[in-house]
Structure 1
Amino acid sequence: MSSYKPEGLLLETAENKQHMRSAAALQEACLTNKTLEARAVVCDSEHNLVVDLGIMRGVIPREEGALGIIDGTAKDIAIISRVNKAVCFKVLSLEADSSGKPIAILSRRLAQEECRQSYLAKLRSGDVIPARVTHLEPFGAFVDIGCGIPSLIPIDSISVSRIMHPKDRFRCGQDIYAVVRSIDEAGRICLSHKELLGTWAQNSIFFAPGQTVAGIIRSVEEYGVFVELAPNLAGLAELKEDVAAGQHASVYIKSLIPEKMKVKLIIVDSFEVNNYTPTFSYFITEGHIDRFQYSPDCCSKVVETVFE
């Protein structure tokens, strides 16, 4: 696994804490070009980040706040949004402020540049990587793939079972895995997630006709109700009054038809659930995928992802 992790994962490590114990330890981090983490506590009116190092105050000047700030390809929200969160940085120098108190000058940009050159630039389509969810939009989930560098998982790549919003699957701050879907000419990485949640056969093996199981109603159509049994497995239930997308349900499994990738269901009951936290399990968490085939071999319709 890469040493370039999403922001926040270094914060409580013994090595990171060791470098915050004294000015000499910070100076050593400066001389050895070490990447450290601490919590940003203030963003001033000029968009310089103030970082709490414990033994002294650290400052990340605006132009050192993120990749792209200098050339205008990144907006200042990339800096402002870090307040009260962990930030990674390199120590540029130890100085004294106007009152004579020690202060560390830091650079988040340099930590991100090293991550991009030493880690992200070496990735290729099909590589499985760790990520941390940073924020959710209707069109997809933004994740940190190393040192605060963002990437996007489009909503249709989150799971096979369709969702109305990424919040149906993720929570901000959640640590997940993703697979590199594509890399454009500018080096921007787009991710996918559904290939790591298993095939139709891998998911359906946990269910059998005659069982009554838990599900989530994902959509209500004229011809039936789609119910999610697992993030990569949904079935079609007969229409039932007073059901709505987002409700939880107990469903009776009539049949599983692998050659058609179908699960036929009957809704026993549906109800609202408050404060629901989505959960899921991974079938793949590391390595590389050349091809993912969701559909069973016995199915005439082939559903697959080819990573090129």
Structure 2
Amino acid sequence: MTRFFLPEGHRLHTPENRAACSSPEGLRRAMETKTVLEGTALLCDAEHNLTVSLGNGCLATIPRTEAALGIAEGTTRDIAILSRVGRPVSFLVDSIPEAGGRPILSRRRAQRMALDLLLTQARPGMVLPAVVTHLEPFGAFVDLGCGVTSMIGIENISVSRISHPGQRFTIGQSIYAVVLDIDPQRERIYLTHKELLGTWAENVRPFHPGMTVPGIVRGIKEYGAFIELTPNLSGLAEARTGLTEGERVSVFLKSIAPDRMKIKLLIIDHLPPEPPAPLPYFITEGRMAYWRYAPAGCTRVAAETVFLD
């Protein structure tokens, strides 16, 4: 299977990266072999050149036009450079001065290598590691490798509906994503995520009528409240005053009907807030061909995804 470049930060503290960055000889070998390394961006000067720490007090420079894909062409804004300060950056070594000056690095070239590999080798249905870099009301931006970003639309984050990606992800969080489509001409990779969080049957398996479990209020209607039991599983509780969206509650499971994907709940009490639990991934590697949320025999129309190559 193709080995893609890792999101920024994944190689920073590895022994191999530390060894390569610790001496001019190690940097020279990395330059000759075009090995991607990582350091930490310490500051951005007035001309938007990055100063990068390689460890052991060694500093290097990424010139502005080498700090990100699209900077030289004007298609990427300089905020892409400023936002790296204090964070890991991937790079290729461009040059090592003989007289003890700072090495010159290129993050742009590392990103070009990562993007070219994704565009030529990734296929719809492939599961990729990613890191959340930015959240907007319409979706989550993620790093697929060396700072190459793509977006997961809010409708593709989970089956259980959320009003903002921040209700599911945090910036810097390591997640998995699935390639939905690839557009080589526009150099874009489209992603989805909900398929990795399991089908209705997989999510409902631990629950049984008579149990009382915690949940999160995700929608309030006149006829009841939708309570999220897992990111891909919700049930309907009877209407109750005093609820607010996003709060935790304890719920009694009255009934579960697989043929209609219905879970009837009764709200027992309000619960104090807690940090979100780790995402319950059912798939973290390989390649998917088809995904259907509904269980066999279900009479309701439900989400399905066909990964076309």
TM category, shorter:
over 0.9
CA displacement 1:72-100 (0-9 Å, x = unmatched): 2211111111000000001111126xxx6
- Stretches of structure 1 lacking an aligned partner (at least 5 in a row): none
Aligned to 1:91: 93
Q: Distance in 2 between matches of 1:41 and 1:210?
A: 55
Q: What corresponds to 1:220 in structure 2?
A: 220
Q: 1:46 aligned to 2:42?
A: no
Q: Name the structure 1 match of 2:26.
A: 25
1:37 equivalenced with 2:38 (yes/no): yes
Q: Does 1:76 align with 2:75?
A: no
Match of 2:14 in 1: 13
State the aligned residue count. 304
Question: 1:157-172 residue pairs with structure 2 within 5 A?
Answer: 157-172=156-171
Contact 2:4 2:117 (C-alpha < 8 Å) held by counterparts: no
1:126 positional shift: 1.2
The 2-side partners of 1:58 and 1:21 are apart by 12
Identity of aligned residues (%): 51
SS in 2 for 1:53: strand
* In 1: Cα distance, 2:63 partner to 2:235 partner: 53
Q: Give CA deviations for 1:126-147 in whole Å, capped at 9, x if unaligned.
A: 1111101112111111110011
**Structure 1 counterpart SS, 2:103:** strand
Match of 1:117 in 2: 116
* Partner of residue 235, structure 2: 235
Runs of 4 or more off by more than 3 Å in structure 1?
A: none
- Cα distance, 1:3 vs structure 2: 4.5
- In 2, the alpha carbon distance for the partners of 1:186 and 1:116 equals 12
How much does 1:101 deviate?
Answer: 4.5
Other-structure match for 2:281: 282
Partner of 1:205: 205
- How far the C-alpha of 1:170 sits from its partner, in A, is 1.0
Structure 1 counterpart of 2:278, one-letter code:
T
Task: Please list every run of 5 or more consecutive structure 2 residues that lacks an aligned counterpart in the other structure.
Answer: none
In structure 1, what is the Cα distance between the partners aligned to 2:89 and 2:282?
A: 31
* Post-superposition offset of 1:12: 0.5
Shift of 1:236: 0.4
Query: Is the 1:2–1:119 contact (alpha carbons within 8 Å) kept by the matching residues of 2?
Result: no
For 1:74 and 1:121, the matched residues in 2 are separated by 22
Question: RMSD of the alignment, in Å?
Answer: 1.4
CA contact (8 A) 2:4 2:114 kept: no
1:268 match:
268
User: Normalization by structure 1: what TM-score?
Assistant: 0.95
Mapped partners of 1:120, 1:6: distance in 2: 16
Cα distance in 1 for partners of 2:293, 2:155 equals: 15
Q: Is the 8 A contact 1:126 1:179 kept in 2?
A: yes
Shift of 1:224: 0.8
TM-score (norm 2): 0.95
Contact preservation (8 Å) 2:8, 2:145 = yes
